Each structure stands twice: as C-alpha cells, then as structure tokens.
Amino acid sequence: VNSDTTRAIINPDAYIGRNSMQRQDNLRVLDLFQGSFMDDTKNLQILDVGCGTGDFTRDHLLPRCPEVERIVAVDLSEDMVEFAKKHFAHPKIHYDVLDILRHDVTDFVERYGQFDRLYSFFCLSWSNDQE
C-alpha cells in the first residue's frame, strides 16, 4: 500500500462491496475491548487511522462514542476519503487524507490538535515498516 501503484488500484465501490468479513472482525475487536473504554466520551477527540470508505467509522465507531466531540478519520487514499465524505458524512466526523508512514504530521496536529483515543483496524498491518 505504500506505493502509488497500489494506491491507484483501491476502488472504494469494490472495497465496500467486499469488506463484510473485515467489518465483522472489527466489531468483534470493539466488543472485546469495549470494557477498556468505559470512560466518558464526552468532549473527546478520536483519530481513526485507515478509515477506508468511512462506513465502519460512521455506522459502528461513532455510535459507541455518542458524545464524542469529533472523530477525525484518515486514510492514505484520496479516493477512499472522497467516497467517505460523499456517502458516510456526519457532523461529528471529519475525513482527511493522511499517510502516517510518509508524512510529517506536524501540520496535521496543528490543524486538529491532540487526540484522546486512536483506533485503527486492519491498517497498520499494511505497513512495510513493521518496526
């Protein structure tokens, strides 16, 4: 996923039509660790790394954090982020493009500030740099 060629072949329409198993795995992980996040989500800012099409962020992550101030959902694919903005928009979710492995995140942190919680499902495993 760290190459321009790979980024170009990720089609949001095809992805969303084939991600049901991934969605189910994500839900199992959330259910498993839900007790670890019993703190109040009021006024929290959450980062979702690798949001893809945004369906899981809006339909499953947001309902578990109903009083969250904002979820910033990022993906390295501009196509995915544009798809998310178009199909899974919500006033509490801001979708943005960010490659966490290649970019200096200083501007990103200046724009959004610090985060109270980070989620990432099936994203970090795509990294070539596992160390």
Q: Which CATH number does the domain housing residue 103 bear?
A: 3.40.50.150
* Domain annotation covers residue 129: no
Q: What is the mean pLDDT of the chain?
A: 83
Higher pLDDT, 4 or 35: 35
Instruction: Report the alpha-carbon distance of residue 14 to residue 35 in Å, rounded.
Output: 34
Single-letter code of the amino acid located at 41: T
Q: How many domains does the chain have?
A: 1
% of the chain at pLDDT higher than 70: 80
Say whether pLDDT at 18 is over 80: no
- What is the residue range of 118's domain? 4-124
pLDDT of res. 38: 60
**Is residue 114 very low, low, confident or very high in pLDDT (cuts 50, 70, 90)?**
very high
* Domain annotation covers residue 130: no
Give me the residues paired with residue 73 across strands.
Answer: 48, 95
Put simply, whether the predicted model's pTM sits higher than 0.75 gets the answer: yes
Give me the residues paired with residue 75 across strands.
Answer: 97
Torsion of CA 99, 45, 63, 87, to 10 degrees: -40
On the CB side of 26, CA atoms within 13 Å amount to 21
72's CB contacts (< 8 A; 6+ apart) are: 45, 46, 47, 48, 93, 94, 96, 112, 115
Torsion of CA 19, 24, 89, 1, to 10 degrees: -40
* Domain annotation covers residue 131: no
Say whether pLDDT at 111 is over 80: yes
Average pLDDT estimate for 85-101: 95
